[in-house]
Structure 1
Amino acid sequence: MREETPRGNCHAHKIGYGAATGDIIVAMSDDARLVAGWADKALAFLQEREKQNPLLSVGLHRMDFLIGTVFGLYYPYYPFVRRSTLEAVGGYFSDDYRAHFTDPDLALRIWSAGGRCEILPERVLQIVERAPGAASVGTPMKGTALAQDMATFLSRWGDRYGRGWDLSHLRGFNLDIRGLMQLCLVRDHTVHFNDPRLVELWQNFQRNHVLYHDDMLDN
């Protein structure tokens, strides 16, 4: 679907969703590459896990192991989700945002409805490095819309999930969790730790993981 007047990637995703006709909706970006067989793996996992909870969003796991959390709840960067689930929580990505926070917003709508967001165990997605300057040219709103989008997100979810969290800056509540830290946090294919103490744990890990990683390599 061609967008004649760019309004940000959030609106572009919504246009794509409006034109889609399939049962499964997958968010994607132009710097992502998927391994062969990824769809079969994701669908098999979705079908198995939705026996426990039919309101489910599966996150396509990245090769670098990185996963996203907001207020200590897992949200998929690249959700693989049934249309029926999206319709049950008010639709796909919201164009109340321009370039940020639509993925955690969707995840919190699913969590709030009693559903779950879970991580695909197999790593199937590789982020490809862009050429210097390509990101700013291709997505100019990413550099200008963060403050507005964050304010919109916090006005919607801050009272419900953000009490006790530092909402004055992004890393006070929106934390990317690295692979080693996931060993402690991931349970039953997800992270569900809505406790502000997570920030202290995350900060401690950020300070120390390189030191320990290098030490292990030396030994």
Structure 2
Amino acid sequence: MRSAPSSENGSRGGRTGRRRGQTDTRPAILNAARGLFAEQGFDKTSIRAVAGAAGVDPALVHHYFGTKQALFAAAVELPIDPEQTLSLVASVPLEDLGATMVRALLGVWDSPAGPGVVAMVRSLIGGGETSLARTFLAEIVLERIRQRIATAHDDGRLRVALVASQLAGLLVTRKVLLLEPISQVAAEELVTAIGPVLQRYLTGDIGSGAAEFAARGEK
């Protein structure tokens, strides 16, 4: 009597989640993830949906990438785990958010991982992947901050968008255009100069625009 064929993970029979005869499972998952993240955004894209688009079992997606956030980071080729920076920013007192954000991001940009971050930004924007770039900013980097500063009359969306505009300008001038003296000045000098600006965007007076923007979003 012939024995049942063994699956790739050593078990007999049953579904393994791996597509038989193919060695491109990980790239297939990444391609499916890029498409769904670009089309639906981060929040509306599930691991199960990515697995279905890639033709694999959801357990295999978890095996390769762990969390959905790690999957997104791999999909956009981010050279670091954003959770490390986000956890640092999310844990500080509200009144220290501005300076902490500048210091944390400069720490990443000026680290050995910095060129990879710049390359990712250039690739996303230059390659026309603006939806992925927007998803990364709005749903991963800034959403946790927005939730911290949101009030009953101001959902914080305009505030974090203003923060993003300031930080994007800083990244471009410091790391892409290499505009002096911003490209050469010490990180702490930039923290001192820009931190209070971000803090005002986050928690200070920015006029009636924030409330009006939030009201339009509720209609």
Same fold (TM over 0.5): no
TM-score normalised by structure 1 residue count? 0.31
TM-score in terms of structure 2 length: 0.31
Q: Would you tell me which structure has more helix in proportion to its own residues?
A: 2
Higher relative strand content: 1
For the pair shown, the structure with the greater C-alpha radius of gyration is 2
